Amino acid sequence: MATRKRGAERRQDLIEAARRAMFRHGTDAVHLNQVAEEAGLTSGAVLYHYPDLSDLLMEAHHAGMERFYDARMKKISGIADPAERLVVMVRSGLPVDADDADVRLLCELGGSAGRNRVYAALLTSLYDRQVSMYQMVLESGAVQGVFTLAGDSQVIARNLVALEDAYGYRIVARHPLIGPEEAVELILAYARQSTGHALTPARGHRPAGTTAG
């Protein structure tokens, strides 16, 4: 049992090392020796756990994406009010700041998607899952009489995720006028029109996730 645990921990360490290497060198440009250097191991030791580097990189991408679906589902599961759930959803889908490693890696992945069908499928799956998550919150609010939807719930949900993506990119691209709080308000402006609800955000909440330099 202890050996299996150590193996699992080493694999998790390698996933984090791969994420740091991709952050430093780019999704398409990262090499085995760079991952090994980040992990403090030899290339052979990395290959012992991941004989194919692409498998490790894929797991690293999956790990970053968990924040934008699995972690958000857990976060809103304990919130009863649909309006509060929607505000939390919007906040937690945006970068913490311009150095947010998870979002920067997603942007890198998006740049590679046109050349890599696997990456394209990965991003498409994440987008569709986020749309379904928003749609669930919107429809639940409508059923409870909290929201008066201005259109089809799927269309509204798709637009909300698209706005997340667009403003998330602007934040990590260091747009001088768009930070996390400004992006929240811009997205909520659309959400208010779409739900007929004031959607007042609680100040001081920070999106879940960590940053890396």
DSSP letters for 129-193:
HHHHHHHHHHHHHHHTTS---SS-HHHHHHHHHHHHHHHHHHHHTT-TT--HHHHHHHHHHHHHH
Residue 204 resides in a domain? no
- The reply to whether 143 and 105 lie within a common domain is yes
What are the two backbone dihedrals, phi and then psi, of residue 33, each rounded to the nearest 5 degrees? -65, -30
Q: Report the C-alpha gap between 169 and 160 in whole angstroms.
A: 14
- The reply to whether 97 and 182 lie within a common domain is yes
Residue 201 resides in a domain? no
- The reply to whether 40 and 99 lie within a common domain is no
Residue 212 resides in a domain? no
Show the domain range for 191: 69-195
Residue 91: CB atoms within 10 A of its CB come to: 22
Residue 202 resides in a domain? no
- The reply to whether 122 and 150 lie within a common domain is yes
- CA distances in angstroms from 138 to 9, 126, 132, 199, listed in the order given: 39, 18, 10, 12
Tell me how long the chain is: 213
Sign of the CA dihedral with 41 first, then 45, 50, and 55 last: positive
Q: How would you write the pLDDT of the chain (213 residues) with one tens digit per residue?
A: 444 457 778 888 998 898 888 888 878 788 999 999 988 999 999 999 999 988 898 888 888 788 899 999 999 999 999 999 999 999 999 999 999 988 988 888 888 888 888 888 989 999 999 999 999 999 999 999 999 999 999 999 999 999 999 999 999 999 999 999 999 999 999 999 999 999 987 654 444 444 333
- The reply to whether 52 and 87 lie within a common domain is no
- The reply to whether 17 and 100 lie within a common domain is no
- The reply to whether 94 and 59 lie within a common domain is no
Residue located via tokens 């589902």: 73
CATH number for the domain that contains residue 108:
1.10.357.10
Query: What is the model's pLDDT at position 203?
Result: 53
- The reply to whether 168 and 82 lie within a common domain is yes
- The reply to whether 42 and 90 lie within a common domain is no
Pull the structure tokens for residue 72. Answer: 């958000």
- Structural domain count, the chain: 2
Q: Residue 79: exposed, middle, or buried by beta-carbon count in 10 A (0-12, 13-18, 19+)?
A: middle
- The reply to whether 50 and 83 lie within a common domain is no
- The reply to whether 119 and 18 lie within a common domain is no
